[in-house]
Structure 1
Amino acid sequence: MVRRSIQDHINKFLFKGKVIILYGARRTGKTTLSKTILSEFGDEGRYINCEVLQYRQALDTTNTALLNDFLGDYRIIVLDEAQSLPNIGLILKVLADTRPDLQIIATGSSSFDMAQSVSEPLTGRSRTFILYPFSLTEISQETHPVDWGARLKNILRFGMYPEVYGQSEEMAIEELRDIATNYLYKDVLQFNQLKRSDLLFKLLQALAFQTGHEVSYGELAKLLGENHHTVRNYIELLEKSFVIFRLSSFSRNLRKELSKSFKVYFNDNGIRNSLINNFNPLELRDDTGALWENFCVTERMKLLHNQRRFPNRFFWRTYDRKEIDYIEEAGGKLAAVEFKWNPAAKVKKPSEFLKTYPNSSFQVIHRDNYRDFLL
């Protein structure tokens, strides 16, 4: 079993008076991780799937006596898919107030509803973590160095969902199609009775084809025959369901810097490829550069989150088309990065950027040196 990096950080907050909130897309391993943590407490731990009707009904109350009667004398409890409980925020507050000895781990596959209901009642009394698909750091613990060349190409094609990683091509494609069809935007469609699965799929396809490029709400709206507000709303919901994430443009000193554009990346390459039904080998693709950029930006995000580091992250572009793929801002310094799959690719130093921001550095990340950046 691949040990999840975030587990050590979660363990540090157990029984410290904090409710643990664990978010992550469906099928990323939240249930497995929470049960792994529970297993260390034997009979003192209890797992509850909040999507099961009888449990949802039993927990749909803020009556202290009823809650304590249902939960019993356990030391630690997992409320899995807790976003299924309409009053989850108040329920957690009641338990935190009346059972300070009880450790609660609440998992959620979407943050748009749960985060709003949890944040205010639990102000200062919760810790939030996100579980992504496997990271390079996690799988490097069980992958021999000689395997990395071929393994990397497979990761760019099939991603690292736990049920996909290490499978044969046939099984990997089957699993990814199942996730994309049955799980990917399940929570989005349940939110506020949004039922436009056709629009969601077309939007995701459009975003998949624009991976690594700037995205315009207006252009997407025109392409999909929808209004600007609807497209923006759906993108925000997809981000809060951990399907995609956005990077904003960096702008400080130059008038010609783009300041309102953004890029969209997928949390997993395999999901991105499944949406456009393209699992071809890299040698037969014309989007290898986009796959490499999506992979690098996503893996960097996982690494930073798993290490509990939270720099500001951007891309940079000017109106005269000078650009940098990725920028991190931390400690008053800027680290600029260009992603190139081919180590022999010629990359011109962004002299204007480096001159404008003297406290900046620049590096190129390719398939021969990525480990220093992503591990």
Structure 2
Amino acid sequence: MILCVPMEIKRIIEKQLVQHILKQNPPILILYGPRRVGKTTLTEIIVSQLKFRTKMVYGDDPDVQRELAGIGLTGIQQYVAQYDLVVFDEAQYIPNIGGILKLIADHVKGKKILVTGSSSLDIAKTVLEPLTGRKKVWYLYPIADEEVRDTTIQIPETTLSSYLRFGMYPVVLTTFGEEEKGAYLRQLLEDYVYKDALRIVGERNREPVRRLLIALAYQVGQEVSYTELSRTVGLDYKTVMKYLDILEECFVLLRLPAFSRNMRTELRKSRKIYFVDVGIRNALVDYFVPFDKRNDRGSLWENWVIMERTKHDHYAQRSVKRYFWRTHDQKEVDLIEEEAGQLTAVEIKWNRTSQTVGQHTFCTQYPGSNALFIDRESYRGKED
């Protein structure tokens, strides 16, 4: 039995989502994120605050799927007529959800619509294009460290070493016991992570998807050659690319391209691949040993910091592009961030060192760039 702290960690975007629904412009709000990160919980909290006449539609309910299959305009009008707010939870399971939302946007005025989904690929195929200009998209990630630090409830373990071993899923953070945390992550991997991807590529492809994820788990923080990856997992190049696209759209992976402004000395085609949650990465290789005994501390730290910065910037509605940088003579920077034309060369190291050669070289080649060093003592960064 997994023993958890009763809790609700207040999510950063809760207030923003409430304000958006009240404004009703654009009329449809879409909330994406991995399974089990708290989308349904957050939605129910928002509904309780708003006090609207609300219809909750749970897309993973087979009865709901049958009820909405083939529904037309008249049926939709009757379906939502008595409500101010309609919530489609896990909407990717609802047949023709894109057509349903388009009918509501075009013909049913004055309704507030909230849509949640765990696969942006599923919804994007049927929703995003028809709703151009009439929807706002948000992402909900696993718990952000700043959300933990802002809470007043007691969390069993808030050390960085625990975060880097078990990740940031809500149940993991509130679970007592290392064995219990590991068991939950293994089950999450089987029940949800594989499930979302396999629903798209087919159950028969479980083993190739598993091999691909395990191979990537061993290459966190390293440059990944898609050609070598295809040889390693026994898949052709196009299939590897297809699976990577799906895993990214299902919020399992995050890919960083190489930064290059066409300088002949820079790599341009390489990619680095990270996991949206390091706990899932560690579950893939079944490796939860104490942090001081690990040989992958640096790569896990790099992965975790990049995801924490990604969460922070998204919730703050900052448009930040992320890359890594390396030259052919092996000078490199872990992370390049670009915001409104300003470049920042970020080095992410578990132990503090001075400014790296890579940072110095990058800032010389790109005058006006900032240099930022993030270590375990002050992981938000410190100007050098």
When the two structures are superposed, what TM-score results if normalisation uses the length of structure 2?
0.92
Q: Which residues of 2 match residues 3-82 of structure 1 at below 5 A? A: 3-14=10-21, 15-42=24-51, 44-82=53-91
- Aligned partner of 1:155: which letter? Y
Q: Secondary structure at the match of 1:160?
A: coil
Query: Would the aligned equivalents of 1:81 and 1:109 in 2 still touch at CA under 8 Å?
Result: yes
Cα deviation code 1:227-284 (max 9, x no counterpart): 1111111011000000011000000142020001110010011111110111111111
| Aligned match of 2:165 | 157
Select which of 338, 347, 356 maps to 2:365: 356
Deviation at 1:45, TM superposition (A): 1.3
> Do the aligned partners of residues 37 and 144 (structure 1) sit closer, same or farther apart at CA in structure 2, a change above 3 Å counting?
closer
| Aligned match of 2:3 | none
Query: Would the aligned equivalents of 1:22 and 1:131 in 2 still touch at CA under 8 Å?
Result: yes
> Do the aligned partners of residues 26 and 9 (structure 1) sit closer, same or farther apart at CA in structure 2, a change above 3 Å counting?
same
Q: Which residues of 2 match residues 283-362 of structure 1 at below 5 A? A: 283-344=292-353, 347-348=356-357, 350-362=359-371
Select which of 134, 140, 145 maps to 1:136: 145
Where does structure 2 lack aligned partners over 5 or more consecutive residues? 1-7
Query: Would the aligned equivalents of 2:185 and 2:280 in 1 still touch at CA under 8 Å?
Result: yes
Matched, 1:278 2:307: no
Deviation at 1:344, TM superposition (A): 5.0
Provide the C-alpha distance between the structure 2 equivalents of 1:272 and 1:63, rounded to a whole number of angstroms. Answer: 43
Q: Which residues of 2 match residues 219-230 of structure 1 at below 5 A? A: 219-230=228-239
Cα deviation code 1:54-78 (max 9, x no counterpart): 1112222341221232334111111
Provide the C-alpha distance between the structure 1 equivalents of 2:158 and 2:28, rounded to a whole number of angstroms. Answer: 41
Deviation at 1:192, TM superposition (A): 4.9
- Aligned partner of 1:157: which letter? R
Provide the C-alpha distance between the structure 1 equivalents of 2:284 and 2:202, rounded to a whole number of angstroms. Answer: 23
Query: Would the aligned equivalents of 2:18 and 2:50 in 1 still touch at CA under 8 Å?
Result: no
Where does structure 1 lack aligned partners over 5 or more consecutive residues? none
Q: Secondary structure at the match of 2:173?
A: coil
Query: Would the aligned equivalents of 2:68 and 2:95 in 1 still touch at CA under 8 Å?
Result: no
Provide the C-alpha distance between the structure 1 equivalents of 2:351 and 2:157, rounded to a whole number of angstroms. Answer: 13
Query: Would the aligned equivalents of 1:20 and 1:106 in 2 still touch at CA under 8 Å?
Result: yes
Query: Would the aligned equivalents of 2:274 and 2:303 in 1 still touch at CA under 8 Å?
Result: yes
Which of 298-307 and 188-197 deviates more?
A: 188-197
Provide the C-alpha distance between the structure 1 equivalents of 2:215 and 2:238, rounded to a whole number of angstroms. Answer: 17
- Aligned partner of 2:168: which letter? M
| Aligned match of 2:197 | 188
Matched, 1:246 2:249: no
Q: Secondary structure at the match of 1:127?
A: strand
Query: Would the aligned equivalents of 1:77 and 1:105 in 2 still touch at CA under 8 Å?
Result: yes
Query: Would the aligned equivalents of 2:331 and 2:358 in 1 still touch at CA under 8 Å?
Result: no
Matched, 1:260 2:272: no
Query: Would the aligned equivalents of 2:331 and 2:357 in 1 still touch at CA under 8 Å?
Result: no
- Aligned partner of 1:11: which letter? V
Q: Secondary structure at the match of 1:79?
A: strand
- Aligned partner of 1:152: which letter? L
Query: Would the aligned equivalents of 1:185 and 1:241 in 2 still touch at CA under 8 Å?
Result: no
Cα deviation code 1:139-162 (max 9, x no counterpart): 1112699x9996211101111101
Provide the C-alpha distance between the structure 1 equivalents of 2:123 and 2:153, rounded to a whole number of angstroms. Answer: 40
- Aligned partner of 1:162: which letter? P
> Do the aligned partners of residues 30 and 231 (structure 1) sit closer, same or farther apart at CA in structure 2, a change above 3 Å counting?
same
RMSD: 2.0
Query: Would the aligned equivalents of 2:355 and 2:373 in 1 still touch at CA under 8 Å?
Result: no
Q: Which residues of 2 match residues 191-206 of structure 1 at below 5 A? A: 191-193=200-202, 195-206=204-215
- Aligned partner of 1:181: which letter? E
Identity %: 41
Query: Would the aligned equivalents of 1:111 and 1:240 in 2 still touch at CA under 8 Å?
Result: yes
Query: Would the aligned equivalents of 1:292 and 1:341 in 2 still touch at CA under 8 Å?
Result: yes
Q: Secondary structure at the match of 1:329?
A: strand
> Do the aligned partners of residues 288 and 346 (structure 1) sit closer, same or farther apart at CA in structure 2, a change above 3 Å counting?
farther
Cα deviation code 1:45-104 (max 9, x no counterpart): 121111111111222234122123233411111111111123111100111122221111
Query: Would the aligned equivalents of 1:21 and 1:107 in 2 still touch at CA under 8 Å?
Result: yes
Provide the C-alpha distance between the structure 1 equivalents of 2:158 and 2:79, rounded to a whole number of angstroms. Answer: 51
